[in-house]
């Protein structure tokens, strides 16, 4: 298939990519890539691509399976498998088609022949890639799972406090409060969704230094609610817990990998302290310590497998009441009885139990998690101790294995008599059919033969019991895997339903948006028509105001004299009045504020040839007043008898005449004094010239 044309194809919903190494040079690998859909139709073939190009196709097609014959062809070492799986799309699983289990593998060519996938002679890279794709389509091989499908959330400070100084305490307090606030917000969001989780914190004086959440829900669902990154002074990290070892999960349910059989499965009392660090303590039914450990970031599936490796859990215990959800679910998967104390076990009592086991077994809890788990298991054992020891009395004539089974029944709710009677009933007492003949039962030879036959039956029954117990353990692990798969399918269904609901909401939102747009257009048209009406009304009112001013002007002529108003003795206000009302020869103007005038400003009024200037308030500077007097324009002050109407004012005629007459007299006196001064000056200069001539 042509490479360029294939890049333009529409990507199907579900695909499978098969790969094989085509070329290796200078440490760089190139791959043959074969892509099919789930109907088996070929979509694309790339004979020679690099690692970056391969990952580009993986992100483009988002295949259900990325299939290979050896996972080490994709990563340099086993420790790089987990980071590589993290880089794949969430819907893509890494499959090794040649894996039967984590320790059993078959050649690729043999698997292709068995599944009738054609190839010619020795396999070339393209045929190998094609074989991997079609084998994965036929569900041959194992999915590599380095992670538990759970989520770990850590909330911490986003930066360091620094080396110290005056502000260090303030910075520390601010960051601790921010960490506490973000941690509570995330916890509230997860609890609102009903997610099952465990939490632990590292408290500080004013808040939290760190907060940890172990969420027992699919990582894809948790990542939709919690986003990694910086939230102010707090930093949120989101990751998946690593499994204790790489797990190979067969694509075919019939190929479920089982654990190796053990000779005798111990019945256990298990104490569990859940959290980011999980404490596990296991006791046998005689109170002996079987295992005590604490592990970080351990998923529920890994906890169950850790317990099953040691034996058959008949009682799961917690040190607090009520039992945490995580512990309750573990007991449900293992089908074990549950124990919780009447009230939370005190720390002093836990320390006593830890000291007791240190003295008797030489095993001391390494931390508080192991101590809490051990105290839970020991408290549960003490509740049943007297009943369990009674079963071992010689009067019941039970072997160690039978006594262990009877003790398990007692913990499950049987009385001692019912448990012992059940063990008696399970003994097979049938004797092989013999020919009817008279036998001397006292014959030593006969007794020896009977003893040998009985021993053989006992050995056979022991083997059957061992096989049955191994099958129980295997079935328990298989049930755990199925429950996890069921949870994944339920979560997937919920996700699809949520996605469908989101699409419906988006469609409704689009309809509402269109409807709102039409309503807004109608509102805009209505507002435009109103604006036109308001503008027309405004023009009409302006005309009426002008007419009103004219009417006031004409009416006031009988007792008042109209004058034109200049708000301030400035160039701008004089020009404004000139443009709006006009300044004609013989006009009288009223200056509301006379301060700030200058000679140049006065010249504007002189050029207009006005009759007089009235100042209502403020004092006209001497220079400006002199200019007006020089031009024979009277200037006087008047505060009373003036009525202002916008740009027009009315002044009482008697006030105007009185003030104007005084102002005109002052102007005449000024000019008379000036003329006399000039004459005296001329006479004085003439006399001085005459003296000089003599």
Confidence of residue 406 (pLDDT cuts 50, 70, 90): confident
Report the pLDDT value the prediction gives residue 35, as an integer from 0 to 100. Answer: 94
Which of 445-454, 461-470, 583-592, 679-688 has the least mean pLDDT? 445-454
Torsion sign (Cα): 245, 248, 254, 260: negative
Report the pLDDT value the prediction gives residue 443, as an integer from 0 to 100. Answer: 43
| Cα–Cα dist 655/660, whole Å | 8
Report the pLDDT value the prediction gives residue 164, as an integer from 0 to 100. Answer: 53
| Cα–Cα dist 368/382, whole Å | 21
Decide if 42 contacts 36 (C-beta within 8 A): yes
E strands of 509-633, at which residues?
A: 560-568, 588-593, 612-617
Torsion sign (Cα): 524, 525, 530, 531: positive
pLDDT (average), residues 320-342: 88
- The residue length of the chain stands at 694
The string of pLDDT tens digits covering residues 589-628 is 999 888 878 888 888 888 888 889 998 888 888 888 888 8
Is residue 9 pLDDT above 50, yes or no?
no
Q: What percent of the chain has pLDDT over 70?
A: 82
E strands of 439-570, at which residues?
A: 560-568
Report the pLDDT value the prediction gives residue 102, as an integer from 0 to 100. Answer: 64
pLDDT (average), residues 83-105: 83
The string of pLDDT tens digits covering residues 31-42 is 999 999 988 888
pLDDT (average), residues 130-147: 90
Q: Which residue has the higher pLDDT, 357 or 485?
A: 357
Confidence of residue 467 (pLDDT cuts 50, 70, 90): low
Per-chain mean pLDDT for the chain: 80
Q: Which of 187, 276, 275 is nearest to 236 (CA)?
A: 187
Residue 517 structure tokens: 């747009």
Is residue 71 pLDDT above 80, yes or no?
yes
Pairing assessment for the beta strands 612-617 and 635-637 based on DSSP bridges = parallel
Torsion sign (Cα): 345, 346, 351, 353: negative
Confidence of residue 435 (pLDDT cuts 50, 70, 90): very low
Given phi > 0 = left and psi -120 to 50 = alpha, else beta, which region is 565? beta
| Cα–Cα dist 308/471, whole Å | 12
Q: Which of 154, 163, 127, 104 is nearest to 47 (CA)?
A: 127
pLDDT (average), residues 106-128: 87
Using only C-alpha atoms, the chain has a radius of gyration, in whole angstroms, of: 51
Decide if 186 contacts 155 (C-beta within 8 A): yes
Is residue 261 pLDDT above 60, yes or no?
no
Q: Which of 282, 306, 332, 671 is nearest to 483 (CA)?
A: 332
| Cα–Cα dist 253/567, whole Å | 98
The string of pLDDT tens digits covering residues 301-328 is 778 878 888 888 899 999 999 899 888 8
Q: Which of 269, 290, 293, 267 is nearest to 361 (CA)?
A: 290
Is residue 271 pLDDT above 90, yes or no?
yes
Report the pLDDT value the prediction gives residue 134, as an integer from 0 to 100. Answer: 94
Is residue 5 pLDDT above 60, yes or no?
no
Residue 487's contacts (CB-CB under 8 Å, 6 or more residues apart) are 218
Report the pLDDT value the prediction gives residue 557, as an integer from 0 to 100. Answer: 57
Residue 517's contacts (CB-CB under 8 Å, 6 or more residues apart) are none
| Cα–Cα dist 552/645, whole Å | 9
Is residue 13 pLDDT above 80, yes or no?
no
Confidence of residue 434 (pLDDT cuts 50, 70, 90): very low
Is residue 441 pLDDT above 50, yes or no?
no
Is residue 644 pLDDT above 70, yes or no?
yes
Residue 647 structure tokens: 């740009």
Report the pLDDT value the prediction gives residue 281, as an integer from 0 to 100. Answer: 94
Report the pLDDT value the prediction gives residue 309, as an integer from 0 to 100. Answer: 81
Decide if 231 contacts 119 (C-beta within 8 A): no
Decide if 339 contacts 316 (C-beta within 8 A): yes
């Amino acid at each position: 298939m042509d490479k360029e044309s294939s890049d333009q194809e529409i990507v199907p919903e579900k695909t499978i990519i098969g790969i094989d190494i085509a070329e290796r040079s200078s440490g760089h690998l190139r791959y043959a890539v074969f892509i099919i859909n789930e109907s088996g139709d070929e979509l694309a073939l790339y004979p020679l691509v690099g690692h970056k190009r391969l990952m580009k196709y993986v992100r483009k097609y988002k295949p259900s399976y990325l299939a290979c014959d050896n996972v080490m062809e994709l990563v340099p070492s086993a420790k790089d498998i987990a980071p590589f799986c993290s880089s794949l799309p969430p819907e893509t699983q890494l499959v090794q088609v040649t894996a039967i289990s984590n320790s059993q593998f078959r050649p690729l060519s043999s698997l292709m022949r068995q599944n009738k996938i054609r190839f010619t002679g020795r396999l070339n890279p393209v045929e190998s890639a094609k074989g991997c794709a079609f084998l994965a389509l036929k569900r041959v091989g194992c999915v590599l799972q380095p992670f538990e499908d759970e989520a770990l959330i850590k909330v911490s400070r986003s930066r360091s406090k620094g080396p110290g100084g005056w502000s260090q305490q303030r910075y520390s307090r601010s960051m601790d409060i921010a960490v506490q606030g973000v941690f509570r917000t995330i916890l509230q969001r997860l609890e609102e969704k009903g997610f099952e989780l465990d939490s632990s914190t590292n408290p500080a004086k004013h808040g939290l230094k760190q907060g940890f959440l172990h969420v027992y829900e699919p990582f894809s669902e948790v990542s939709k609610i919690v986003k990694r990154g910086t939230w102010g002074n707090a930093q949120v990290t989101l990751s998946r817990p690593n499994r204790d070892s790489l797990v190979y999960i067969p694509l075919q349910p019939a190929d479920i990998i089982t654990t190796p059989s053990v000779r005798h499965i111990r019945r256990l009392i298990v104490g569990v302290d859940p959290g980011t660090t999980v404490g596990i303590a296991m006791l046998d039914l005689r109170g002996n310590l079987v295992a005590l450990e604490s592990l970080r970031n351990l998923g529920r599936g890994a906890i169950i497998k850790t317990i099953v490796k040691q034996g058959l859990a008949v009682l799961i215990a917690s040190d607090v009441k009520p039992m945490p959800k995580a512990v309750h679910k573990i007991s449900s998967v293992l089908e074990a009885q549950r124990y919780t104390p009447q009230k939370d076990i005190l720390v002093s009592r836990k320390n006593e139990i830890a000291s007791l086991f240190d003295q008797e077994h030489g095993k001391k809890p390494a931390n508080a998690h192991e101590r809490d788990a051990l105290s839970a298991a020991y408290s549960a054992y003490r509740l049943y101790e007297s009943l369990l020891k009674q079963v071992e009395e010689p009067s019941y004539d039970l072997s160690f294995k039978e006594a262990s089974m009877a003790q398990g029944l007692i913990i499950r709710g049987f009385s001692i008599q019912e448990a012992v009677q059940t063990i008696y009933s399970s003994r097979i007492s049938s004797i092989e059919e013999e020919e009817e003949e008279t036998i001397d039962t006292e014959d030593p030879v006969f007794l020896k033969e009977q003893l040998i036959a009985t021993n053989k039956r006992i050995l056979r029954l022991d083997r059957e019991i061992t096989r049955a117990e191994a099958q129980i353990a295997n079935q328990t692990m298989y049930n755990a895997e199925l429950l996890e798969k069921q949870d994944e399918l339920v979560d997937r269904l919920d996700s699809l339903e949520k996605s469908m609901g989101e699409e419906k909401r988006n469609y409704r939102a689009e309809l509402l948006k269109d409807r709102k747009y039409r309503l807004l257009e109608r509102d805009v048209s209505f507002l435009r028509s109103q604006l036109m009406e308001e503008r027309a009304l405004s023009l009409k009112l302006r005309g009426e105001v002008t007419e009103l001013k004219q009417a006031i002007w004409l009416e006031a002529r009988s007792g008042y004299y109209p004058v034109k108003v200049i708000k301030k003795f400035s160039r701008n206000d004089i020009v404004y009045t000139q443009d709006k009302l006009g300044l004609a020869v013989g006009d009288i103007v009223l200056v509301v504020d006379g301060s700030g005038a200058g000679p140049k400003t006065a010249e504007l009024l002189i050029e207009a040839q006005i009759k007089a200037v009235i100042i209502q308030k403020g004092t006209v500077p001497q220079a400006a007043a002199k200019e007006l007097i020089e031009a024979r324009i009277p200037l006087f002050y008047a505060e009373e008898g003036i009525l202002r109407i916008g740009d027009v004012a009315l002044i009482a005629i008697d006030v105007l005449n009185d003030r104007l007459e005084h102002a005109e007299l002052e102007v005449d006196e000024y000019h008379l004094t000036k003329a006399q001064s000039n004459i005296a000056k001329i006479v004085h200069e003439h006399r001085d010239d005459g003296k000089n001539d003599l």
